[in-house]
Structure formats: structure tokens, C-alpha cells
Amino acid sequence: MKSVIGVVLCAALSSGPNMAHAHALPDPADIDAKVAELMQRTSAQGIAVAVIDQGRPVYVQAFGKRNADGDPLKTDTVMYGASLTKTVFAYTVARWADQGRVSLDTSIAEFLPRPLPSYAGTDIVNRYADFTALDERWRRLTPRILLNHGSGFANFGFLEPDEKLRFHFDPGTRYAYSGDGLATLQFALEHGLGLDVGAGTNAIFRELGMHRTALIWRADFASNLADGWDIQGRLEPHDERSKVRAAGSMDTTIADLALFAAAFVRGDGLSPQAHRDMLRPQLQITTRSQFPTLQPELPPAQRRKDLAAGLGVVVFQGPQGAGFFKGGHNDTTANTLVCVQKRQRCLLVLSNDVRADGGFEELVRYVLGETGVPYDWEYGR
């Protein structure tokens, strides 16, 4: 079963006068059929898909079911944003930087009234991580370094033997995906500069008309909510996120997040310079795959020259020029956002079944053509 938002703008899904050499986007009915095929092959129970073209949502659909009762997944069904939250957070911080409220290249030591490790054991820090294992290199951390995953941290402190964050390399010297790096930045912004991440993102959501999106649970989500299926096909209820977590607490819908993706690829709310800054290569990625996060770096001759961290996204060069992407997963969630900058084209996919991930590469290629998304690095092939 599928649900459609508004009228699909079929004309926008064909090449325009200035796009003679562009990949021609498939007709809506063909995208429908492709998604149905992928769902059958992967056993995914629910998938929601949006296509952005020339900076505007032109296709927004939901397929399958949202719970064990078989209620249909709709375009306004609340789903996990998972790590796509990180892109929203990076966009929020970039806007604050554009407004002069935060400097991306200033040490977080300049934000906080006392040293970061001294907050260990407080209720404030327990919301995020235990900093007691940190050495003085914490003073090298800046918002930019934390947003481009150059912190030197493991993905999460609880993965450490003593469950305390520590440095595995000097901050800013290499890429290693870290959710707790983002949490550390959230802590510094909120408790050093008084910037409220929940309120800041909510303001953006209101501005964009994203009425069913938040980084914390809302009671009105409950009436149309997606539960999820794990890799074994077992159902897991959607939980109620009680705290704002920049690394992954967002609840959203495909209709809402399509509005964000369109605004982001257009650069709305940012100066042209700030938008370029978010999407430029900032930190080369030097590992064979994204996970495990602290694997050895490849020899220089084996590193991809077209792959780097931007702010909140990974940027790459492909057959259609510069692009960026971000994934988002938990045990029952598979999400992806892929954008080609030149034509402001994106494919956004949210799924409440982690098995859907097995069809993403094919779906991206079918809808957007050959983009150069580094799936070998993303999936470790």
C-alpha cells in the first residue's frame, strides 16, 4: 500500500532545456514499481521515498506498513531520523555560525567556563558522555573538527573498556565517525554558550513547515507512528526519545524531511559562503570503510582522493560532479540521503525495516543515475 502527498509533479521528473546531458529521472510509476521490487527482494516491510529536483520535492511516497497490525506507512507517519539528525544538527550550527553566535574554528575551551574533564560525574555530563579519560588535547576540539568527525573519539564512549571517552589520535588529523563527538559539541554549545539545540532545530522545522519533526518525543506523534523490523524480521516498538541528542534522536516524516533536504541542497538559511563551507571537502577520509571507526589508515597511494568529510555529510566527486550523502541506522532503521549539487537533485529514503538497506545502492542508481556515492566505503565491501 502506498500513500501520496499532494500532486506528483511529473513534468519536473523529466529533463529540462538545460539538462540535455543529465540523467533523466524515472517516471513516478516506474519508481513505485522499483521500490515494490526492492521491498519484495529484501523483505522490507516499509519504505518511504522522496525525490528532490532543482531544489524542490517532486516525488514523495510511502509504501508498506508501519506496525504489526498492518496499518499503512504514510508520508506523514513519524519515523526515526537516526543519524540524519547529525546533518540537521550541522546545518543548525552552521546557521548559528553564519549569525555570529558561534565560531566554527574556536576551541570549545573558549566556550566552557571550566575544563571539560571537570564536568565528569555531573548529571549534565551523564546526558552525553564521561569525559574523565580526556587529556589536554580536548582543548584542540573545535565545532568544525567535531562536525567533520575529526575528534579522535570512538563512536561512543560506552564502547571503551572503561566506558570513558579518550583520544585515539590528535584532533583534526584524520576522520573517524563519532556520535559522541557530536554530543560533545552539543554539550559545549548548550552549557558553554547557552545555545539550546532542541529550540534551535525546532525553529528551523517551523520555518520549513516541518510540523511533525522534533529531536525529542511529542505526544502527538503517537497516533501515526512507525514501529520497526530488525535484521531477523522481529518487530520492535518505536520508543519515546526523552532527551535531545544531536547524534540521533530526531523523529520525522518523509514529507517533512524532504522539505529539509530541499532547503539544504538549495542553501536556504545560509549565506552562499556558509553553504559552500558545509559542502566542501574539509578532512580527507583515509580508511577502507566507515566502520569500524578506528581502523588503520590506508597507505597514501590507496586512499580515495574524491572522498572527504564536509560538515554533517560526506562529500564526493562522481560522474555528475560534486555530491554529498549521509546515512542513518539503528537496529530497525535504514535511512539514506544522496544529493548531486549541480542540479540540486536528491534521493531521500527512510525505512522502518533495517533490511531495506540492501536495496539502497540500486535504488539510488535507478533514480539518480551513476552518482559516485562511495558505497564500497559505506558498506565495507
pLDDT band for position 122 (50/70/90)?
Answer: confident
When the pLDDT of each residue in the chain is averaged and rounded to a whole number, the result is 94
The partner residues of 334 in beta bridges, in order of sequence, read 329, 351
Give the mean model confidence (pLDDT) for residues 235-252: 97
Whether 95 and 278 have beta carbons less than 8 Å apart is answered as no
pTM for the full model? 0.94
- Start-to-end CA distance of the chain, whole Å, equals 33
Place of cell 518525543: 217
Grid cell, residue 311, equals: 560538515
Q: What is the pLDDT of residue 21?
A: 57
Q: Domains, the chain, ranges and CATH?
A: 1-75 (no CATH), 78-333 (3.40.710.10)
Over 50: is that where the pLDDT of 10 sits? no
pLDDT surpasses 50 at 3: no
Point out which residues pair with 2 in neighbouring strands: 63
Residue identified by cell 580508511 is 287
H-helix segments, 25-119: 28-42, 84-98
- The CA R_g of the chain, rounded to the nearest whole Å, is 20
* 73-111 pLDDT per residue, tens: 999 999 999 999 999 999 999 999 999 999 999 999 999
- The answer for 380, left when phi > 0, alpha when psi is -120 to 50, beta otherwise, is left
CA 168, 172, 178, 184 dihedral sign is: positive
Cell of 285: 577520509
Give pLDDT tens digits for 345-364: 999 999 999 999 999 999 99
| Cell of residue 90, nine digits | 550541522
